[in-house]
C-alpha cells in the first residue's frame, strides 16, 4: 500500500459551514484520526444523516454515504454487517440522532455493531434556522428562538448507556487534538462506540459559546476516573461504576467533563450472529454476486 499523507484523507471541496462552526473542528479531528490510524480509504466508509454536520462525508477522501434524516444508524450498521472488514463511522447532529432518529439510536445500542457514531451537538437545528434541538434545556432561549424552549432536554450520555452502547465518550469541537484521540479510541473499540461532541453554533446559539465552554470543561482522567468495565466485574463493583458514570454524565453547569465515560467489553453483534450464521463473518453478504438492479419498471410507474 502506498504511504498515505494527511492530505490524502481530505477531499478537494471547501466546507461551506458558517465561520466559527464547530463542524470544522470535528472534521479536522476525524481527518487526523483516520490518517494516524493509517486506515485504507478504500475500506473506510463515513455515513451521515441530514443537517449541517451531514456534509462531513463530502469533505473526506474516503467512501461516503449521505443518507436520510434520522436514518444514518440502520444504514451504517447494514453496511458493516454486509462487509465486516470495513471501518464504519456514522456522523450526525443532535436533531438528526436524538430527534427524528431517536428510535434508531436506541435500537442500535441493543446490537453492539462494531462501529463509531459521532454526534455533533450544538443544541439547535442549524440547517433550518436555529429551532430548538433535543439537547437544548427547558426554558432556555437562544437568539434564534422567539420564546424560551418549552421542551425538556435529552441527555445523550445517559440515553446511550441505557440503550447499551459499550463505549461512551464526550469531546469538544474546539479541542481538536483531544477529539482526535477520542475518535481513534472509538474506532479501535470492539463494539458500538458513541462520541458526544459539544460544539458552539455562533450563528444561532448565543448561550453556549466558546467563551462559555472554555472555563467549564475538564478532563475525566485528570480526576482519576476509570471508565473500564472488565468482564466478570462483581455486582457490587459494577453498581459503583454505574453510579459514578451517572454522576459524571449528569454534571453540567459550572463544570463539564470530557473524556471516556464508559468502556465495556462485550460480544459484538457480528460475534452474536455466529449462532445463526456459523460461517459469518468469514463468509459475508458483500462477497456474494451483485444483485441485478433494473429501475425501469419503477420509473415507468411514476412517469407522467
pLDDT one-digit tens code per residue, 153-207: 999 999 999 999 999 999 999 999 999 999 999 999 999 999 999 999 999 999 9
User: What is the C-alpha to C-alpha distance for residues 222 and 81, in angstroms, rounded to an integer?
Assistant: 37
Residue 11 grid coordinates: 477531499
User: What is the C-alpha to C-alpha distance for residues 65 and 40, in angstroms, rounded to an integer?
Assistant: 17
Assign 3-class secondary structure to 12-38. Answer: CCCCCCCCCCCHHHHHHHHHHHHHHCC
The CA distances from residue 263 to 16, 158, 246, 283, in Å, are 35, 14, 14, 29
- pLDDT > 90? residue 304: no
User: What is the C-alpha to C-alpha distance for residues 36 and 52, in angstroms, rounded to an integer?
Assistant: 26
Whole-prediction pTM: 0.94
CA atoms within 13 A on the CB side of 168: 25
- pLDDT > 80? residue 265: yes
For cell 465518550, name the residue.
169
Q: Which of 280, 279, 261 is nearest to 269 (CA)?
A: 280
User: What is the C-alpha to C-alpha distance for residues 48 and 68, in angstroms, rounded to an integer?
Assistant: 8
Asked if residue 112 lies in contact with residue 191, where contact means CB atoms within 8 angstroms, the answer is yes
For the chain, the domains span 6-301
Asked if residue 152 lies in contact with residue 123, where contact means CB atoms within 8 angstroms, the answer is no
Asked if residue 173 lies in contact with residue 25, where contact means CB atoms within 8 angstroms, the answer is yes
pLDDT given at position 281: 85
Q: pLDDT category, 1, cuts 50, 70, 90?
A: low
Q: Does domain 6-301 have CATH number 3.40.50.970?
A: yes
Other CB atoms within 10 A of residue 19 CB: 7
Residue 99 DSSP code: I
- pLDDT > 80? residue 295: yes
User: What is the C-alpha to C-alpha distance for residues 110 and 35, in angstroms, rounded to an integer?
Assistant: 30
**Mean pLDDT, all residues of the chain:** 96
pLDDT, greater one: 7 or 275? 7
Question: In terms of residues, how long is the chain?
Answer: 304
Q: pLDDT category, 56, cuts 50, 70, 90?
A: very high
Amino acid at each position: 500500500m502506498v504511504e498515505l499523507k494527511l492530505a490524502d484523507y481530505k477531499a478537494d471541496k471547501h466546507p461551506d459551514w458558517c465561520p466559527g462552526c464547530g463542524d470544522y473542528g470535528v472534521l479536522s479531528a476525524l481527518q487526523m484520526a483516520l490518517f494516524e490510524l493509517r486506515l485504507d480509504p478504500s475500506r473506510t466508509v463515513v455515513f451521515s444523516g441530514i443537517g449541517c454536520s451531514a456534509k462531513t462525508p463530502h469533505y473526506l477522501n474516503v467512501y461516503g454515504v449521505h443518507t436520510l434524516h434520522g436514518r444514518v444508524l440502520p444504514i451504517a450498521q447494514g453496511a458493516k454487517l454486509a462487509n465486516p472488514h470495513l471501518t464504519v463511522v456514522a456522523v450526525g447532529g443532535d436533531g438528526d440522532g436524538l430527534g427524528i432518529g431517536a428510535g434508531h439510536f436506541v435500537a442500535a445500542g441493543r446490537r453492539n455493531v462494531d462501529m463509531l457514531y459521532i454526534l455533533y451537538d450544538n443544541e439547535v437545528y442549524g440547517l433550518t434556522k436555529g429551532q430548538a434541538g433535543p439537547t437544548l434545556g427547558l426554558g432556555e432561549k437562544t437568539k434564534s428562538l422567539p420564546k424560551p424552549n418549552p421542551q425538556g432536554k435529552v441527555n445523550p450520555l445517559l440515553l446511550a448507556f441505557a440503550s447499551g452502547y459499550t463505549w461512551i465518550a464526550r469531546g469538544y469541537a474546539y479541542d481538536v487534538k483531544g477529539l482526535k484521540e477520542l475518535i481513534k479510541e472509538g474506532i479501535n473499540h470492539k463494539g458500538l462506540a458513541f462520541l458526544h461532541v459539544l460544539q458552539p453554533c455562533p450563528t444561532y446559539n448565543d448561550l453556549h459559546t466558546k467563551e462559555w465552554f472554555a472555563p467549564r470543561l475538564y478532563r475525566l482522567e485528570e480526576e482519576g476516573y476509570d471508565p473500564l468495565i472488565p468482564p466478570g466485574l462483581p455486582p457490587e463493583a459494577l453498581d459503583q461504576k454505574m453510579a459514578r458514570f451517572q454522576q459524571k454524565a449528569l454534571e453540567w453547569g459550572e463544570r463539564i467533563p470530557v473524556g471516556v465515560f464508559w468502556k465495556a467489553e462485550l460480544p459484538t453483534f457480528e460475534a452474536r450472529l455466529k449462532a445463526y450464521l456459523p460461517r459469518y463473518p468469514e463468509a459475508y453478504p458483500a462477497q456474494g454476486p451483485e444483485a441485478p438492479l433494473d429501475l425501469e419498471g419503477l420509473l415507468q410507474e411514476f412517469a407522467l
